[in-house]
């Protein structure tokens, strides 16, 4: 079946079966490799993307379920104000260790901040539940989300700008 998808603001035409998981459309057909395969059961969060602004597990979302909704992946989230702030905060707080889960973590965090500009620790924990970090950097993830939510000005290297 042919699908016209908007991914990170670009149009793609793909010919895949209706039940093809969005994850494989992104990785194998469109060649966007930032979204990771983790468990294949929607339990780890490594494959999180946005469909219509909502965080979804791409391994469990059939391409036929996307409809006319725009898809945003880790490759495109930095083009949004929230995504750019999160990426800079991730660097400033030094969240990443092995890095495998980070695309999904940032995508879930961006969905949270799009709906809640000043999340509490409980809000963050609830939104990030199901995003597994095998390096256990959960406290740094929470710190980076709070930093991004604060709106502080960070340079490209993640360092807070003087006077900001």
Q: What residues does each domain of the chain span?
A: 2-76, 78-150
At 5 the pLDDT is 99
Question: How far, in Å, are 24, 93, 142, 150 from residue 2 at the CA level?
Answer: 15, 43, 40, 43
At 15 the pLDDT is 98
At 159 the pLDDT is 59
At 152 the pLDDT is 73
Strand order in the sheet with 48-51: 10-15, 2-7, 71-72, 48-51, 54-57
Give the integer Cα–Cα distance in Å for 26 and 5.
10
At 141 the pLDDT is 97
Contact (Cβ atoms closer than 8 angstroms) between residue 60 and residue 41: yes
At 109 the pLDDT is 99
Which residues in the chain land under pLDDT 50? 162-164
Q: Which helix (H) or strand (E) element contains residue 71?
A: strand 71-72
Pick the CATH number of 78-150 from 3.40.50.300, 3.10.20.30, 1.10.150.120, 3.100.10.10: 1.10.150.120
At 153 the pLDDT is 64
Whose structure tokens read 């035409």? 13
Give the integer Cα–Cα distance in Å for 71 and 25.
11
Pick the CATH number of 2-76 from 3.20.10.10, 3.10.20.30, 3.40.309.10, 3.40.462.10: 3.10.20.30
At 157 the pLDDT is 54
Model confidence, pTM: 0.91
DSSP state of 128: H
């Amino acid at each position: 079946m042919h699908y016209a998808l908007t991914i990170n603001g670009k149009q793609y035409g793909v010919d895949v079966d209706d039940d093809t998981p969005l994850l494989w459309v992104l990785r194998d057909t469109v060649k966007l490799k930032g979204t990771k395969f983790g468990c294949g059961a929607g339990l780890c969060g490594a494959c999180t993307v946005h469909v219509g602004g909502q965080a979804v597990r791409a391994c469990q979302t059939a391409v036929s379920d996307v409809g006319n909704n725009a898809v945003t992946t880790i490759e495109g989230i930095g083009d949004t104000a929230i995504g750019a702030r999160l990426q800079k905060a991730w660097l400033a707080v030094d969240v990443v260790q092995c890095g495998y889960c980070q695309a999904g973590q940032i995508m879930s965090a961006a969905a949270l901040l799009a709906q809640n500009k000043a999340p509490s620790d409980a809000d963050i924990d609830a939104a990030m539940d199901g995003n597994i970090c095998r390096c256990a950097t959960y406290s740094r993830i929470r710190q980076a989300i709070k930093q991004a939510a604060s709106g502080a000005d960070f340079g490209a290297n993640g360092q807070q700008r003087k006077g900001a």
